[in-house]
Amino acid sequence: MARALSNESVIYAASFTNPSHVVKSTDTGDSWTNVGMVPDLIYCLVIDPSNADIIYAGCSSRVYKSTNGGVAWNSHPVSGYNIYDLVIHPSQPLVVRAAGAVKIGIYYYLACFSSTDGGVTWISRQLVTNKKTCGYCIAIDPANPQILYVGGSVMDSLKSPLVFWSTDGGTSFNDVSSGFTPCSTACAIAIHPTNPGIVYFTTDTGIYRSTDSGNTWINVSAYRHAYSLATSPDEPNLVTAGADTTVYISTDAGLSWSGSGPYLYGSEIRNVAISQTESVDICAGNNTGFFKTTDCGLSWLGSNNGMNVTVAHNFAVSRQSPSTIYMEVNDVGEFKTSDQGASWTMLPDFLSCGMICGFAVHNADPDTVYALEGAG
């Protein structure tokens, strides 16, 4: 999911499938339209800060670009690279940076990638040479775009987090990877909107904060699996972190954190975005779709009207009552309809392995259903 800076009513989202289906909203997520498809698995989306019709999608070994609001996409090969996160220069929209991995021989190494022609051609800067590593996140200082951070992890049994800092637009980097809990993987990184010395970094074991541009880090929260971060110049000390089942919120520049309010369901909130002018307006995307809040997380509203981006693996129709259908939606859950699909109810989760192999509805009783999964 990505929200346009030039028109915050415009939001794009993509399914985590191959191919990826791209949907667009022009009313802040109240309704969605399927606009296009990318023939690859999308890891990240970013929108040109000055033109809401220009979007980039980072994938394995290539970057896709659309100039017409996601309807058509041009493919730009990035041979031997994996792209996991993208940022665009705030005042030079043809300058695009990426975090990922470059393949040398049979191994991948953490790298920063740069394009100065709108994603058509790329150059790489390998940041680690002696360990198998990968870059997962990148952040650019909007006030001083020469300042970049790239976060990643060592890909061994310990999976140690890594952070690199550049003050010259990615020409050179300093390793500022100290103070992190071992056996953890990098997830997201963000810079304070008005104080560039304050940097936030999340791993799958906690949230970290630095007040000296990453030279030292303090673990400020044990909240796990914070996949995404967002800030807003409207309220500079507000920062949000999208996690497994909630959005964590800090109102004191990351010193303390708390979970947000109810009605946010599903898991893996991979994207969060705060309005740049109304900081109480926050949106989030996870494996079930799109959510938004207009009260800074006190409560959430799911809004997926027209968002058809997932996969139904299995379903079964009742012989006794054909209007009753059971269905599993990939990475979301199990659903039931009693009105031939006009409306659906999500069923209580009972899975232990995560996927249904098949349903069987009792011949005489549509309310009795059997489900087979990998664990039994």
For 43-74, how does the pLDDT look when each residue is reduced to its tens digit (9 = 90+)? 999 999 999 999 999 998 899 999 999 999 99
Write out pLDDT tens, residues 174-214. 999 988 988 889 999 999 999 999 999 999 899 999 999 99
C-alpha pair distances (Å), 33 with each of 10, 27, 64, 209, 222: 11, 11, 20, 38, 38
pLDDT at 249 over 70: yes
Q: How far apart are the first and last CA of the chain?
A: 35
Domain definitions of the chain by residue range: 2-302, 312-373
pTM confidence score: 0.88
* Side chain identity at residue 157, one-letter code: S
Q: What is the pLDDT of residue 120?
A: 96
* Side chain identity at residue 58, one-letter code: G
For range 348-371, the mean pLDDT: 84
- How far is the C-alpha of 55 from the C-alpha of 52, rounded, in Å? 7
Task: Grade residue 353 by pLDDT with cuts at 50, 70 and 90.
Answer: low
Least confident span in 96-110, 272-286, 346-360: 346-360
For range 90-115, the mean pLDDT: 95
Q: Which residues of 289-311 are buried (b: 16+ CB within 10 A; e: fewer)?
A: bbbbbbebbeebebbbeebebbe
Q: What is the pLDDT of residue 329?
A: 79
Topology of domain 2-302 in CATH is Methylamine Dehydrogenase; Chain H (2.130.10)
